[in-house]
With several copies, the nearest count.
Chain A
Amino acid sequence: MGEHDDTVNYPSLRTRAIESLLVEKGILASDAVDRVVSTYEEDIGPLNGARVVARAWSDGEYKTRLLENATGAIAELGISGMQGENMVALENTSEVHNVVVCTLCSCYPWPVLGLPPYWYKSPEYRARVVVEPRAVLEELGLELDDSQELRVWDSSADIRYMVLPERPAGTDDLSEEELTELVTRDSMIGVARAGTS
């Protein structure tokens, strides 16, 4: 999709109509709108989650704390915020693979992953991943072992999930910072492995 120049399309006009009316009525703070947007465009994104994962890979005690109390362990790295107040981390292993969805809307752990990508919010992903998860993951390029239990987590209430992906083989010598670069957003949703594009 990319960025459109669409100042005269209907959603754009409608949005500007709403914004201008709310400003005139003294209800909307333009600076708040600006700041909220720039926060999610610039400050809060999947790099936060990658730092959590790299730390867990590097520090067994941290990993234990992450799996026991994700919200607290994430906060140790200075990461917290809206839609991440009640976090649970799900560990992928050779026996168990976890994948996260919100079938009812688009619930997603904002502080660690930023705002969700379009496909995560699409009817196709939401409808299909609960009933045919292996097929969906295969389409997305992730083949699981038949022996691996696949678990689908529907974010239907107020817990927000992040997946702790498996640490890729051959990364023993990497620093925590180098490990961070292997951790993709998709691997923390559970639709990809870490260390792959």
Chain B
Amino acid sequence: MARAHDIGGLKGLGRVEMEQDEPVFHSEWERRVFGITMATLGKGLFNIEQFRSGVEEIPIVPYLESSYYERWIATLERNLIRAGVVSEDEIDARTTELSHRPETEVGRREEPEFCEMLLGAIHGGMSPERELDAPKGFEIGDRVVASGTEVLTHTRLPRYVRGKTGVVVRLDKAFVFPESNAAGDGENPEWCYCVRFEAEDVWGPNAENAAPVYVDVWESYLVAA
């Protein structure tokens, strides 16, 4: 794990704790963070890969210790600042002001047309599928090795399968390539595949109780085995 988020297989973590009758959001600020994120994504101020990348930039201890939507605040800030629409100083100053006058109401403005457009996207979807002329490089049943090349920036190949061998079990569409889109270098779509990795090939001979893992992988992450 070059970055904090790539934790598949990390040992030492505790039990999975479920909450009974969990609400969709746990507080008003979680609601607003979620809504602001969707609305600013919808405005094209950043893309989903840049949003994810901003989460991954959080150092590992705060990453693991903060709550889910606290991580969203961190990446939302980062991305808004990078988009040039607000500065860190402005956010800091406003936070301080609000802490002194917590009763201050947040202002409002409406954009009915944008609102309808966004709701339309939520209900209709916005697939990262793209047209691609290039032929698919792999077929079902092909044995493939996942890239072992380190990527120190945004990547969607989990570290636990890097360098490991698996078998293509499903051919998917061509999707926007996240590494490229996160870097602002365009969508550069690639064919995607679902690859099955056997437990012992991923976790080694001492894997107890493990199971095959199916990972969805862009074509440039794969070479023929």
When A and B assemble into the complex, do they touch directly, with CB atoms less than 8 Å apart? yes
Q: A28-B36, A118-B68 are in contact. Are A22 and B98 (CB under 8 A)?
A: no
Q: A27-B85, A134-B211, A157-B217 are in contact. Are A36 and B125 (CB under 8 A)?
A: no
B223 at the A interface (CB under 8 A):
no
B17 neighbours in A (Cβ, 8 Å): 119, 122, 124
Q: Contact check: which of A18, A127, A156 meets B216 at CB < 8 Å? A: A156
B185 at the A interface (CB under 8 A):
no
B102 neighbours in A (Cβ, 8 Å): 7-8, 13
Q: Which residue on A lies nearest to B23, using beta carbons?
A: A3
Q: Which residue on B lies nearest to A192, using beta carbons?
A: B18
Q: Which residue on B lies nearest to A111, using beta carbons?
A: B125
A16 at the B interface (CB under 8 A):
yes
Sample of 20 A–B contacts (CB below 8 Å):
A1-B19, A11-B33, A11-B69, A12-B28, A21-B86, A21-B90, A32-B119, A35-B119, A39-B119, A80-B125, A103-B158, A104-B8, A119-B18, A127-B8, A154-B8, A154-B158, A157-B217, A158-B127, A158-B176, A159-B172
Most central of A21, A115, A158 by chain B CB within 10 Å = A158
Q: Which residue on A lies nearest to B9, using beta carbons?
A: A131
Q: Are B109 and A29 in contact (CB under 8 A)?
A: yes
Nearest chain A CB to B166 CB, angstrom units? 12
Residues of B within 8 A of A (CB): 5-11, 13-19, 22-29, 31-36, 38-40, 42-43, 45, 52, 55, 64, 67-70, 73, 76-77, 80, 85-86, 90-91, 94-95, 97-99, 102, 104, 106-112, 114-115, 118-119, 121-129, 152, 156-158, 160, 170, 172-173, 175-176, 192, 194, 196, 202-203, 207-218
Q: Are A36 and B110 in contact (CB under 8 A)?
A: no
A14 neighbours in B (Cβ, 8 Å): 73, 77, 91, 95
Q: Which residue on A lies nearest to B128, using beta carbons?
A: A158
Q: Contact check: which of B28, B124, B172, B194 meets A80 at CB < 8 Å? A: B124
Q: Contact check: which of A23, A29, A103 meets B8 at CB < 8 Å? A: A103
B52 neighbours in A (Cβ, 8 Å): 104-105
Nearest chain A CB to B64 CB, angstrom units? 5
A128 neighbours in B (Cβ, 8 Å): 13, 16
Q: Contact check: which of B73, B115, B152, B196 meets A15 at CB < 8 Å? A: B73
Complexed CA–CA distance, A88 and B97 (Å): 48
Nearest chain A CB to B128 CB, angstrom units? 5
Q: Are B127 and A15 in contact (CB under 8 A)?
A: no
Nearest chain B CB to A133 CB, angstrom units? 5
Q: A41-B24, A119-B18, A157-B156 are in contact. Are A32 and B106 (CB under 8 A)?
A: no
Q: Contact check: which of A25, A117, A149 meets B211 at CB < 8 Å? A: A149
Q: Contact check: which of B24, B76, B129, B156 meets A114 at CB < 8 Å? A: B24
Complexed CA–CA distance, A93 and B129 (Å): 31
Complexed CA–CA distance, A32 and B16 (Å): 34
